[in-house]
Structure 1
Amino acid sequence: MRIFHHPDQALHRPERELHNGGFVAYAEDARRIESILAVLGEPEMPDDRGEGPIRAVHDGDYVDFLKSAYARWKAAGRDGDAFGYAWPVVGRRPLTLNRIDGDLGRYSFDAASPISQGTWEAAYATAQTAIGACDAVLRGEGAAFALCRPPGHHAGHDYLGGYCYLNAAAIAAQHARDNGVARVAILDIDYHHGNGTQDIFYTRGDVFYASLHADPATDFPFYWGHADETGEGAGQGATLNLPLARGTTLAAFRSAQAKALDAIAAFDPGMLIVSLGVDTWDGDPISQFAIRTQDYRALAADIAARGWPTAILMEGGYAIEALGANVESFLSGFPG
């Protein structure tokens, strides 16, 4: 399988995040890349497709904010990483703000996703990596893997959060649509619900979004991912959420995935995007499922058996020492 990655993804290096009432070491560590590449070997460098595919998904003002936020933070005399501390209630976002602190609240939904010196460059490289895997599939590969970091599925049209800044899965899906794929499906199997991906496509009928994730009644991101969220307008019925209880093991996860795959089959996509999170592993430090390393091969084989051209994009997974083995196990379930 062809594997894509860009070294600029390592430039995003926040030191801390706010968690459980205090500042702790940032869990989405750049060493995640090293752990995976140590097992998978040398990747391909993606072509640079510019900002066009990014702006096809993300609001232009938001993209401009991401590009300038750290410089504005430093210009305001701040040290360290840029954090928001004030968030507007729904419906009260002003159109223009003159202070970086206001824009950090305007364009984010949590305090766990600081902006560091290299955040834009890393997020941009992640988007190009996702497009690279998508292009490989568009050109005839049965499957390709994009080692994306930082992850993307919590980033919405105009907001960041959950360690995510640009939504690689949404960018890849839109890129496929713009290159002639009539219907694209996204299967999200990260521990956390991909609220950003859902938001981006919620009112559209050309992209089907199916997610298996921890029940948002107990787990982040809380306000999205409930089973009754099924889409609106033209997108009614094109969203499927399958919340799962903490402690879920292979049998229950595999059954839910089969339900999602059946729904995707009824949608009849020309391409599948898999948002792969291995924070479902039973030793992950911030998640509560019980999937074992060897289980990932079976889950992947079930997906591969459907026969859809598939771009696999890396999302979460924070047990750094185990990441390589878990990702390798998943990829081994696909032919080649």
Structure 2
Amino acid sequence: MRLVPVGVVGELYVGGTGVARGYGGRPDLTAECFVPDPYGPAGARLHRTGDLVRLLPGGDVDFVGRRDGQVKIRGHRVETGEIKSMLDDHPAVRDSVVITVDDASGRASLAAYWVPVPGAGDPGELRETLVAHCAARLPDHMVPSALAPIASVLLNANGKLDRAALPHPDREAPDEAVAPRGVVEERIAEIFEDLLGGPADSHSHFFREGGNSILAIRLIAEIQQTFDIDFPTRAVFEGSTVAELAQVVEAEVRAEIDRMSQEDLETWHPSPAHSAAEDERPLTGPARRSSTRRGRPCAGVEADDDPGPAARRARASDSRVREVSAGAGR
């Protein structure tokens, strides 16, 4: 047991002379909820309330949710009350509730429902605003996969959330899927599909599509094996879409070329298999400089048309990117 700083969510313990001695006839529950007080006199106890709260700078205690609202999402323990508190902080939200639902593959995911304030505007636009609001303040695994507006939060006869009264949280697909652009994105999208069990496009986000820290290890290993590069682990967490990871792959390949000496650059050639049948599909990002292969001219380019070291190095980078991409497809 340790104290948490001001503003950080923690469980509320109550101590002092007013704390009861336990639950009558329930020694198991007493042992669970009445614990020794490490900050009080000998023999003192604290009562575990099960309430999740945070201490505000002014000294007030802000109720966030209940301890039994803790769930496990993609390998992470998540307090749904913390997400609810973040939603409730938005000026267009009067009340909210966050629950877990099973996605199409049977994995638990987060669904949020919000009660808008009067005059909050178009629900569709507000949904996108709330997604951005949560994404800017919460880790990826805590951003709800589905959000839906409701008229009010209904309770059952026991005063608890009536889950049966909540509408099905239909996931809103993006307006238009963006097909992978170039061979590198295509290969990474295929890895996404193998690991996550669903279709992937250029904007597919690894963690929001069901990825977790264990699958991230497999993702990194697959990318390293597929493209024969040293892929930095941090890249998966700094930019998790297919397009962002493809840019990292291309950057790593170009860095490999940049580390070569000028002498090595002039004597290096693409592998024979790649030279014989180069994948001419476009690269992504800025990788559209030239189809000239390093160290030897392409058809129609005279050998003495030397564009200079910088241009040769840029062309070599393009050729190497195509080589690892073509190799990944074999």
Q: What TM-score, normalized to structure 1?
A: 0.24
Rg comparison, structure with higher value: 2
* Higher RCO, Cα 8 Å, sep 6+: 1
